């Protein structure tokens, strides 16, 4: 991980750039997939499972209710604890309806109403993220979303501690070009059991085995098996992110453009180098296109953290991925911690760890970040799994204008107003004057007719 010493503020924007694909090429490839799924539905999804995942399925649908999933009991307890904390934090975000009388006889209020149909994309493959299922399904359930559609890629690399109920049949062939000398498999054979067990815990009855841009397309347009949704949630690689952005062209909302994971750590001499190194590695292991940044006013800390990274990375099963991510990463030596905060606000990190003596004080100066972790003991992994906050957060600088997922992400805010006779009498003349100034006579008449009715018949019902 290269070190940049005392960069000038004018150089910061270049240092804050993320690794990206050529978006025009990416958009073209993803657009073709979306068009294919829109035209060919499940047939296209099954073809992409064979092409991209080397899995030949007979259906994309897994009926969770009729399956039994065995997972490690300690893992089950850990998931239940995380569920409890996530529920507690998100339940606290419910808002009471407050009726505001803006002037005598004029009452206004706002009501939260659940988005009826939501789609949850759960990254899978080599590392199925059951934690993302918790982060998205729990607030969707609390909000009262009627239909929750869950899509995740088929997986065959099950962890030894979480074996599937039945071992998947052996596959022959070489991906899309291989010959499959057997009948297509049932989708449950390629559903990671932890994902299945967590779905049951959350009361989700069906899950759809499809991933990547094709899953987003399926939720955007609907297929024979997968219902169309109104809003799509969930992180993913650049293909998933591009597909979500294209989905907006077809009237489907998205949570945010959440792409490859990232973390920025601000550290001073009071930080523990081994902790900082572990935090940086925890994001680097997500994928080769992830990015991690260390910002410090101490050259000694930067040196010690880099030494720790060299030690710890060799112990990681996903070492090759982490090493690749560090090619896109950097340490930045700054003059003082105020400058470190300014750099962080320029970078707009998804995750920000402040490992300093005055972490809470510096935290008050943070204006742009997805989620902030204060002090040496607040590892980013806590937010990823079980502290209660949501880990679906804006990346790639989108923290400048997006919030992370919350209960509000799953609801619409509808405003209401009620005017009494007294209210329209008090407010009416101002409305008439403003409508007349904008030359909108019908707007004025809507008020004038009511005022005339009250004047002519004061005893008329208030309605």
Chain segment 255-282, per-residue pLDDT in tens: 998 778 899 999 999 999 999 999 999 9
Residue 16 contacts residue 397 (beta carbons within 8 Å):
yes
What would the pLDDT profile of 214-245 be if each residue is shown by its tens digit? 999 999 999 999 999 999 999 888 899 899 99
**Matching fold, domains 2-19+260-388 and 23-257:** yes
Residue with tokens 């994971």: 261
Residues 6+ apart with CB under 8 A from 53: 125, 153, 154, 190, 211
pLDDT at res. 301: 98
Read off the pLDDT band of 182 (50, 70, 90): low
CA 7, 11, 13, 14 torsion-angle sign: negative
- Cβ 447 vs Cβ 432: under 8 Å: yes
| Maximal CA-CA distance, the chain | 88
- CA 57 to each of CA 68, 182, 200, 204, 226: distance values in angstroms, whole numbers, following the listed order: 20, 11, 22, 21, 15
Question: Does pLDDT of 127 surpass 80?
Answer: no
Give catalytic residue positions. 350-351
Per the annotation, where are the binding residues? Answer: 121, 214, 237, 261, 283, 286, 351, 384, 438, 443
Residue with tokens 């998931």: 79
pTM value surpassing 0.95: no
Domains of the chain: which residue ranges?
2-19+260-388, 23-257, 420-456
Kindly provide the b/e burial profile for residues 76-105, where b requires at least 16 CB atoms within 10 angstroms of the residue's own CB: beebeebbebbbebbeebeeeeeeeeeeeb
Between 171 and 387, residue with greater pLDDT:
387
Task: Indicate if the pLDDT at residue 290 is higher than 50.
Answer: yes
d(CA 278, CA 196): 30
**Domain with residues 2-19+260-388, CATH architecture:** 3-Layer(aba) Sandwich (3.40)
Question: Nearest-CA neighbor of 379 among 341, 351, 407, 406?
Answer: 351
8 A C-beta contact, residue 337 and residue 270:
no
Binding-site annotation, residues for NAD(+): 121, 214, 237
* Structure confidence at residue 419 (pLDDT): 98
366/356 Cα distance (integer angstroms) = 14
pLDDT in tens, 142-166: 999 999 999 999 986 554 344 444 3
Average pLDDT of span 314-326: 94
420-456, CATH topology level: 1.20.5
Strand-strand pairing, 61-63 and 117-121: unpaired
The whole-number average pLDDT for the span 93-119 is: 97
DSSP string across 393-433:
---TTGGGT-PPP-GGGGEEEEEEEEE-HHHHHHHHHHHHH
pLDDT of amino acid 113: 97
Q: Are 167 and 186 in contact (CB under 8 A)?
A: no
Non-local (6+) Cβ contacts of 459 within 8 A are: none
Calculate the average pLDDT of the chain.
91
pLDDT of residue 183: 61
Annotated binding-site residue numbers for Zn(2+): 283, 286, 384, 443
Task: Please identify, in words, the CATH class of the domain defined by 23-257.
Answer: alpha beta
- Least confident interval from 78-82, 162-166, 369-373, 427-431: 162-166
Query: Is 22 in a helix, a strand, or coil?
Result: coil
CA dist 85 → 138, 234, 388 (Å): 11, 20, 5
Instruction: Please name the residues in contact with 439: beta carbons below 8 A apart, sequence gap of 6 or more.
Output: none
Annotated binding site for substrate: 261, 283, 286, 351, 384, 438, 443
Measured in degrees and rounded to the nearest 5, phi and psi for residue 409 equal: -65, -20
What phi, psi does 82 have (nearest 5°)? Answer: -60, -45
């Amino acid at each position: 991980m290269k070190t940049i010493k005392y960069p000038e503020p004018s150089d910061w924007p270049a240092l804050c750039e993320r690794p990206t694909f050529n978006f025009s090429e990416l958009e073209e490839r993803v657009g073709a997939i979306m068009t294919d799924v829109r035209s060919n539905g499940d047939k296209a999804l099954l073809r992409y499972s064979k092409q991209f995942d080397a899995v030949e399925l007979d259906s994309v649908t897994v009926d969770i209710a009729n399956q039994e999933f065995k997972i490690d009991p300690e893992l089950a307890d850990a998931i239940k604890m995380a569920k409890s904390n996530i529920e507690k934090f998100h339940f606290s975000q419910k808002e009471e309806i407050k009726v505001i009388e803006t002037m005598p006889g004029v009452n206004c209020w706002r009501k939260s109403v659940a988005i009826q149909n939501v789609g949850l994309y759960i990254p899978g493959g080599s590392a199925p993220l059951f934690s993302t299922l918790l982060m998205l399904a729990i607030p969707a359930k609390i909000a009262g979303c009627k239909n929750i559609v869950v899509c995740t890629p088929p997986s065959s690399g099950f962890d030894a501690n979480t074996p599937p109920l039945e071992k998947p049949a052996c596959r022959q062939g070489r991906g899309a070009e291989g010959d499959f000398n057997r009948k297509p498999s049932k989708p449950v054979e390629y559903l990671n059991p932890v994902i299945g067990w967590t779905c049951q815990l959350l009361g989700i009855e069906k899950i759809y085995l499809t991933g990547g841009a094709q899953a987003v397309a399926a939720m955007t347009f609907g297929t024979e098996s997968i219902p169309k949704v109104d809003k799509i949630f969930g992180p993913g690689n650049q293909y998933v992110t591009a597909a979500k952005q294209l989905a907006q062209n077809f009237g489907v909302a998205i949570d945010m453009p959440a792409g490859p994971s990232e973390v920025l750590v601000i550290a001073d001499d009071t930080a523990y180098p081994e902790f900082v190194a572990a935090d940086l590695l925890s994001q680097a292991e997500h994928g080769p296109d992830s990015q991690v940044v260390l910002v410090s006013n101490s050259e000694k800390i930067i040196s010690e953290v880099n030494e720790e990274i060299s030690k710890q990375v060799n112990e990681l099963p996903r070492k090759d991925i982490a090493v690749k991510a560090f090619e896109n990463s950097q340490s930045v030596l700054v003059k003082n911690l105020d400058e470190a905060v300014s750099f962080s606000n320029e970078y707009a990190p998804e995750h920000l760890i402040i490992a300093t003596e005055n972490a809470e004080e510096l935290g008050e100066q943070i204006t742009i970040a997805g989620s902030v972790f204060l002090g040496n003991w607040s590892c980013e992994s806590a937010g990823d799994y079980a502290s209660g906050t949501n880990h679906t957060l804006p990346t790639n600088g989108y923290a400048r204008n997006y919030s992370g997922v919350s209960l509000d992400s799953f609801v619409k805010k509808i405003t209401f107003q009620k005017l009494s006779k007294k209210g329209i009498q008090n407010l009416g003349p101002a409305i008439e004057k403003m409508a007349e100034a904008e030359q909108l006579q019908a707007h004025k008449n809507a008020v004038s007719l009511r005022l005339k009715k009250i004047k002519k018949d004061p005893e008329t019902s208030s309605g």
